[in-house]
C-alpha cells in the first residue's frame, strides 16, 4: 500500500492510495484496540468458547493489516480479505450471541417485543458493541477489495 | 459522494468514491447505532456531559446524509468538517472523563501507574468513548481532497 501511494501518478490515484493507507491504519489500529479492550474486560475468560472468537480474529487481523502496508501480493490480499470478511461476520454473530445470552440470563423470549427490548438493555453485555468487529471488517474490506484498481 | 461517483470517468475515480461512500455509510450507521446503544445502556443522565453524545449525533446524522448528495456547497462542507471535529473532541473528552470519574468513584484522582490502570478498566469504559473520535476522523478523511 505504501508503494502504491509512492507510485501514484494522477490526483485520483494519490487520493485513493492515501485513503487506502489511512483506512488500513484504522483497521490495524481497530484490531489492536478491540483486542486490548476485550482482554481488559476479561472477555477471554468467559465460560462459553465463542468468547474467544473476537480475540482470535483480532490476533489474525492486526498482523495481516500491518503486512498489507508493505505488500499486496495475491495470497496476502486474499487472506486479508478473507479475514476481514470473517471479522465482519464475527461482529454480527457477537451481537446475536450477546442478545441470545442476555435473553437466556433474563429468562425471557426474544420472540416477544418486551423480551427483545429487555435483552437489548443489559449494560454488562452490550448487544450493539459486538458490531465493532463488523465495523473494522467493513473498513478492511473497503481497502482490500480496491487494492488492485487500475485505470 | 453520489454525484461524484456518477460523474467519475475512470476506474480509480469510481473506486475512490466507493471507498468514501462505504466509509461514510459506516459513520452514518455508527452515529445512529452508538446513540441507540448509549440510550439503551442508560447514558442519558440528568448531567449535561452525559447527554453530549446525543447532541452531537443530531448535526452528525444531518450533515453526513447531506454530504452524500452535496459536498460542493461551501457552508455545508464547513458545517460537516466542524461537526466531525466536534465528534473527535467529544470522543477524547469522553475517554478522559470516564477515566477521571472512575478514579473519583474509587476514592480520588491518582495518575500514578497502577491506580490509573486499575481505573482504566473501571465501571465506565475509557476506550469505548473513542468511538466518536473514530467516526470524526473517518468523516474528515472521507472529505479530504473531495472536490
B47 touches chain A (CB under 8 A): no
Q: Is A6 in the B-facing interface, judged by CB distances under 8 Å?
A: no
Distance set, CA A7 to CA A3, A63, A124, B98, B130 (Å) = 6, 24, 48, 44, 33
**Complete DSSP assignment for B39-78:** HHTT---SSHHHHHHHHHHHHHHHHHHHHHH---SHHHHH
Closest CA to A144 of A54, A73, A89, A90: A73
**A139/B26 Cβ within 8 A:** yes
Judged by CB atoms closer than 8 Å, whether chains meet at B18 and A123 is answered as no
* Weakest mean pLDDT among A95-99, A124-128, B31-35: A124-128
Judge contact between B104 and B115, C-beta under 8 A: no
pLDDT in tens, A4-31: 999 999 999 999 999 999 999 999 999 9
Number of domains in chain B: 1
Residue A106 has pLDDT above 90, yes or no: yes
- Grid coordinates representing A56 are 482470535
Contact status of B114 with chain A (Cβ, < 8 Å): no
Chain B contact set for A37 (CB, 8 A): 125, 127-128
pLDDT, tens digit, 9 for 90 and up, residues B68-85 = 999 999 999 999 999 999
Q: Could you give the ipTM of this predicted complex?
A: 0.83
> Which residues in chain A touch residue B5, judged by CB atoms under 8 angstroms apart?
none
Is A16's CB within 8 Å of B145's CB?
no
> Residue B99 is part of which domain span?
2-143
Amino acid at each position: 500500500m505504501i508503494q502504491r501511494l509512492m507510485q501514484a501518478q494522477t490526483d485520483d490515484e494519490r487520493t485513493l492510495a492515501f485513503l487506502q493507507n489511512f483506512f488500513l491504519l484504522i483497521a490495524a489500529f481497530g484490531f489492536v484496540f478491540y483486542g486490548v479492550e476485550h482482554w481488559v474486560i476479561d472477555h477471554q475468560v468467559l465460560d462459553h468458547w465463542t468468547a474467544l472468537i473476537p480475540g482470535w480474529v483480532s490476533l489474525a487481523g492486526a498482523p495481516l493489516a500491518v503486512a498489507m502496508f508493505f505488500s499486496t501480493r495475491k495470497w496476502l490480499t486474499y487472506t486479508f480479505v478473507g479475514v476481514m470478511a470473517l471479522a465482519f461476520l464475527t461482529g454480527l454473530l457477537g451481537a446475536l450471541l450477546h442478545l441470545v445470552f442476555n435473553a437466556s440470563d433474563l429468562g425471557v423470549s426474544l420472540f416477544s417485543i418486551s423480551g427483545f427490548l429487555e435483552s437489548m438493555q443489559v449494560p454488562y453485555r452490550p448487544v450493539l458493541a459486538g458490531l465493532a468487529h463488523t465495523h473494522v471488517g467493513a473498513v478492511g474490506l473497503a481497502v482490500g477489495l480496491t487494492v488492485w484498481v487500475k485505470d | 459522494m453520489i454525484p461524484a461517483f456518477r460523474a467519475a470517468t475512470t476506474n480509480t475515480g469510481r473506486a475512490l468514491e466507493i471507498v468514501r461512500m462505504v466509509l461514510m455509510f459506516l459513520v452514518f450507521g455508527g452515529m445512529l447505532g452508538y446513540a441507540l446503544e448509549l440510550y439503551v445502556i442508560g447514558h442519558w443522565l440528568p448531567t449535561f456531559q452525559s447527554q453530549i453524545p446525543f447532541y452531537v449525533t443530531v448535526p452528525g446524522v444531518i450533515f453526513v446524509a447531506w454530504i452524500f448528495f452535496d459536498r460542493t456547497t461551501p457552508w455545508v462542507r464547513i458545517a460537516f468538517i466542524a461537526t466531525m471535529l466536534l465528534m473527535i473532541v467529544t470522543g477524547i473528552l469522553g475517554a478522559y472523563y470516564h477515566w477521571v470519574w472512575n478514579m473519583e468513584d474509587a476514592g480520588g484522582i491518582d495518575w500514578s501507574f497502577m491506580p490509573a490502570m486499575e481505573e482504566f478498566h473501571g465501571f465506565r469504559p475509557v476506550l469505548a468513548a473513542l468511538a466518536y473520535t473514530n467516526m470524526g476522523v473517518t468523516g474528515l478523511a472521507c472529505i479530504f481532497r473531495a472536490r
